[in-house]
Amino acid sequence: MTEGERPGSEPRRVPAFTIRVGYERWMKTPILEYQGDPLYEIPIKGHIQLEFEGRSPLQPGRHRVQENGAIGSVPVVPFLWDVVASCRRLSQASPSREVVRVMTTEYSLEFERDGDVVVVRLVATDEPGAPALAETRVGTQELNKEIAEAASVVLGRIRVLNPETRGNLPLKGLADSIEALSKSVVG
């Protein structure tokens, strides 16, 4: 039995792939200072935690990799919008392949779909030909749900911090993409 389990309970399943976005207190400033310009792309930077089978494949000490294995100082909205849009396109065609660059870093996420399964890889783009830093297989529906939920949490936090952001067009674009991806999730 592992920590947190109760006698007779099912073991907790570790997801094949998870993505979490966080930001430090000082990163909230651009959200709070937003004045309502609908075209303004709010410069929100945060840290992206990518986990494969419950662990980050990144070693602290690499460029921008924090102690917990998260990639720091990533432009959050453009990154999430690209991931959400890529997963939506992946849902519409099989086989298909999408690559999302973790902006301003040397990392990319690769998604390769065949049928109901997606292979997710994290690669270092500064090391051409090197093996993937991590790779896992995940169901298309499970991936879409994970991505839609992670992006929704971030969008919700932004809107709670500053309700005026509801009129921001880049954030509306992200919201529309999240909604479309969420509709592709069955159940």
Asked if residue 176 belongs to a domain, the reply is: yes
Q: State the DSSP H helix or E strand holding residue 99, giving kind and residue range, or none if neither.
A: strand 96-102
Range of the domain at 163: 17-183
Asked if residue 170 belongs to a domain, the reply is: yes
Tokens in use for 38? 């609908």
pLDDT of the residue at 1: 45
Asked if residue 6 belongs to a domain, the reply is: no
**Residue-by-residue pLDDT tens, the chain, 187 positions:** 445 555 666 666 889 999 999 877 767 899 999 999 999 999 999 999 999 999 999 999 888 899 999 999 999 999 999 999 999 999 988 779 999 999 989 999 999 999 999 999 999 988 888 899 999 999 999 999 999 999 999 999 999 999 999 999 999 999 999 999 999 887 5
Asked if residue 127 belongs to a domain, the reply is: yes
Domain harbouring 137, CATH code:
3.30.2450
pLDDT of the residue at 2: 47
pLDDT of the residue at 26: 67
pLDDT of the residue at 172: 96
pLDDT of the residue at 38: 96
Asked if residue 95 belongs to a domain, the reply is: yes
Q: Measured in Å, how far apart are the chain's first and last C-alpha atoms?
A: 30
What CA–CA distance (Å, rounded) separates 48 from 66?
A: 10
Tokens in use for 129? 């030909």
CA angle centred on 111, ends 153 and 108, rounded to 5°: 75
**Number of domains the chain contains:** 1
Asked if residue 1 belongs to a domain, the reply is: no
Of residues 68, 72, 73, 87, the one with CA closest to residue 150: 87
Asked if residue 3 belongs to a domain, the reply is: no
Asked if residue 11 belongs to a domain, the reply is: no
